[in-house]
Amino acid sequence: MAIEEHILTFKNVSFAYQKNEPILQEISFSLQKGEKVMIVGENGAGKTTLLKLLCHQIYPTKGTITLFGHLLNEKNSPTHSHKELSYVPQIQMQSEIATQVEESVLLGLYGKNFSYLKRSSKQDRRKAVEALEMVGMSDYSHRDLRALSGGQRQKVAIARAIIRSPSLLLLDEPTTYLDKESKKEIVELIERLQKELQFTMLIISHDTLHLEYVQRVFLLENHTLIERHIS
């Protein structure tokens, strides 16, 4: 029998932004290597908060989170575990200034082998081109990010995430604000990329289209996470 390999474990995790106003309470769950898991829940339930805990933006007020075998806390440097992690945030940053699509994808390598004080290498640029090819956006690599549609920008955000070759991909509502056709396109893209790149995936979405390929679904309600059967 294959040995289960936990990528991520939450053990009795609680979190509050303000004292006496709990957002998450006693959350326990784990993800195994290669799993595709979806989290649903009402607006304000704490879904994005849960992902922020994984990205070293905030820390549990109680309990422990282990990511790739490393305990996440304020004292632990995020560098090791975070090289393996990519995050597609809920709201794509709107650039005020002209940013080339390819440049914005390269930023995904930040903390991996990119720094603001280093010129990007040929190899990094090659990776950006490949990532844009994988999401079907290579024709747009020299365009201004601000001139893209919402769906196209979402594809670029996904390219920015996969350029890191993540072991774990977190996606926060990647299809919100998109029309029906674009939603379908993005869902199919995510499903295809997961098959090709084999990352473990945690996706937050209200979109039932994802139910076609995810293996487990959790509902975040009343500050806690409950597993639901997919029917």
Other C-beta atoms closer than 10 Å to the C-beta of 103 total 15
Which is closer to ligand ATP, CB of 47 or CB of 82? 47
* Residue 73, Ramachandran bin (φ over 0: left; ψ between -120 and 50: alpha; else beta): beta
Q: Is residue 48 a contact point for Mg ion (CB under 5 A)?
A: yes
Q: Structure tokens of 26?
A: 């006693």
Which is closer to ligand ATP, CB of 41 or CB of 60? 41
Which is closer to ligand ATP, CB of 129 or CB of 211? 211
Q: How far is the CB of 125 from ligand ATP (least distance, A)?
A: 34
46 binds, among ligand ATP, Mg ion, none (CB under 5 to 8 A by kind): ligand ATP
* Residue 72, Ramachandran bin (φ over 0: left; ψ between -120 and 50: alpha; else beta): beta
Only one residue has tokens 């995050």, namely 87
In a 3-state reduction of DSSP, which class is residue 87?
Answer: strand
Q: Is residue 43 a contact point for ligand ATP (CB under 6 A)?
A: yes
Tell me how far apart the alpha carbons of residues 124 and 113 are, in angstroms, rounded to a whole number: 8
Q: Is residue 48 a contact point for ligand ATP (CB under 6 A)?
A: yes
By the 10 Å C-beta count (0-12 exposed, 13-18 middle, 19+ buried), 66 is classed as: middle
The 3-state DSSP composition of the chain as helix, strand, coil percent (nearest 5) reads 35, 30, 40
Which is closer to Mg ion, CB of 15 or CB of 140? 15
Residues that contact ligand ATP, how many (by CB under 6 A): 11
Tell me how far apart the alpha carbons of residues 60 and 74 are, in angstroms, rounded to a whole number: 10
Selected binder of ligand ATP within 12, 17, 110, 146 (CB under 6 A): 17
Which is closer to ligand ATP, CB of 41 or CB of 174? 41
159 binds, among ligand ATP, Mg ion, none (CB under 5 to 8 A by kind): none
Q: How far is the CB of 90 from ligand ATP (least distance, A)?
A: 6
Site map (CB under 6 A) of ligand ATP, residues 68-107, x = contact:
----------------------x-----------------
Contact 157, 95 (CB under 8 A): no
Q: Is residue 46 a contact point for ligand ATP (CB under 6 A)?
A: yes
Q: What contacts 119, CB < 8 A, 6 or more positions away?
A: none
Which is closer to Mg ion, CB of 90 or CB of 182? 90
Q: How far is the CB of 24 from Mg ion (least distance, A)?
A: 13
The residues that touch Mg ion, with contacts defined as CB under 5 A, are 47-48, 90
The residues that touch ligand ATP, with contacts defined as CB under 6 A, are 17, 23, 41, 43-49, 90
